[in-house]
Structure 1
């Protein structure tokens, strides 16, 4: 950014400047942040970035909202993350404070910016270091507390937690057996918005990369499998023998039972089940609990080819008789 332009914008954004002038200057910055070139130029100006961050708590709702939108735009570009975190060391702590405030009217934008910042491994590592275990506990509390903020849905907490579990430290926290964290997440596999559900399912999928925890996840202590299969199940009829092989929560479902409507979430659910089949013990438990039946009916119903392929890929990890029976059906 031209130094003269930057200085002019900084002068317009001073607290003593007229409110309408400050608002217009911030609107200009918001427009600049909407292009890749503009984001790069803004991220090269530490003083301007700090002022934008400070304006997120401005008394004027319009100004504060625009400041949040600027940060959402800036963080949407992964190439800006290193500059943002380097030039504005207070960025993560400040955004976390805003997010945790149950009265903040812009927490959805704050959550989106933090979700953006946690997508890449390097910035996610910085996020976890800032958050620490106490902050993680608070995020999970917010995620599992209906109407934590009366002004915001906080749906992007789901993807945010999912991003944190791309790192071993994040997965270890969710899988801590003394905290019972993962058990608190399971009801949200079928509840809430598509964004929230997708984040929760993504979190479960990431956690299933920890093979050492599969036996525990499939045990009665967590009983993960029925939560993964229920959104994939419809109201099909089964023989008595088949019905008995299913977990209780999947038996005698109503005829009008609907499957998860989002194909990407359906695919993630199938992939999570497949990850649980990475060990011989996991494959045995998954097979014994009637998963084949759910996949068989899902495959018949499924209209998205990429989800159907995920079904077929899962079946291929089972013994040949199951594999052949499944393929001969189509």
Structure 2
């Protein structure tokens, strides 16, 4: 691994004034480091490099900014670095940048969403977002339908799913102060014509949807949305709200449309909760049931895999867009 003098030299290249080609080469090198355990261990001990990378996410070069984001996403998957990220970056700044359109005209900032998703695995990060005076989580809700980027949509849905693990906030999340439910349901709702009775039971934003209404195209994001609803249904008050808001009707039509077996299975589990009897006494809150360590570890691995797949899909789409642009220019 790099010596202290080599690390200092590396850091000296991560400044806004450094030549673009040198900055690009250095960011690419660090991206490679962040892809393996030893490299992450080295970067973990260098918060100065992490801070420099974050500063370069505003670089005029989109390629450099995106490489820096990829490094930060890789590092944020490591729980031992969550606290470092909170102190070097500041969650308030992350949310502001993500929610400010055109914050950096040279980079689209979509990579901030999965970064924030990784950080909200930490209870302190979730507490920040769900502070009732900050209204941070409310600012993120519209991005569940952000058409320009599956990476941003998926990252934000991941944030909301993480927040819903804190069952003490379910009542607030489902209340008029946040009103999270329509933002989770709309991506799953389609153009099917419903009866007047079915429509009237739904949240207002879900009633009488237009004929051209489309569902979320990414199956991984659809599954995460269902998992988030399932978390809300894990508490007695949450189940009551989902039933009162006629969520079953949306799930009924969604189940008829869905073709992905994995997503269909997640939908069926939610429907079982919505139409089934209440759990036995002592099981009212399913989130308070102890989860074996091996199961919890598998859930974390699955989450990390989802983020990597979303990132890879986003990169593929960006490459296709670039190729189409080159063709048009020729």
Question: Structure 2 length as normaliser, TM-score?
Answer: 0.79
Question: What's the offset of the Cα at 1:102?
Answer: 6.5
Give the conservation status (yes or no) of the 8 Å contact 1:104–1:149: no
Q: How many residues align?
A: 275
Partner in structure 2 of residue 172 of structure 1: 127
1:196 matched to 2:156: no
CA deviation string 1:263-316 (max 9, x = no partner) = 000000000001001111100001111111111111111110000000011112
Partner in structure 1 of residue 113 of structure 2: 158
Closer/same/farther in 2, CA of residues 165 and 110 from structure 1, 3 Å limit: same
- Ranges in structure 2 where 5+ consecutive residues have no aligned partner: 279-330
Partner in structure 1 of residue 94 of structure 2: 139
Question: What's the offset of the Cα at 1:113?
Answer: 1.1
1:94 matched to 2:94: no
Paired residue for 2:249, among 293, 300, 304?
293
CA deviation string 1:167-203 (max 9, x = no partner) = 0011001101100001100111101300111100000
1:80 matched to 2:39: yes
Question: What's the offset of the Cα at 1:44?
Answer: 4.3
Question: Structure 1 length as normaliser, TM-score?
Answer: 0.79
Partner in structure 2 of residue 56 of structure 1: 14
Aligned Cα RMSD in Å?
A: 1.8
Partner in structure 2 of residue 121 of structure 1: 79
* Structure ranking higher on relative contact order (CA contacts 8 Å, 6+ apart): 2
- Ranges in structure 1 where 5+ consecutive residues have no aligned partner: 1-42, 323-330
Partner in structure 1 of residue 324 of structure 2: none
Question: What's the offset of the Cα at 1:76?
Answer: 2.2
CA deviation string 1:231-282 (max 9, x = no partner) = 0000001111111111111111111211000000000000000100111110
Give the conservation status (yes or no) of the 8 Å contact 2:47–2:84: no
Question: What's the offset of the Cα at 1:318?
Answer: 2.6
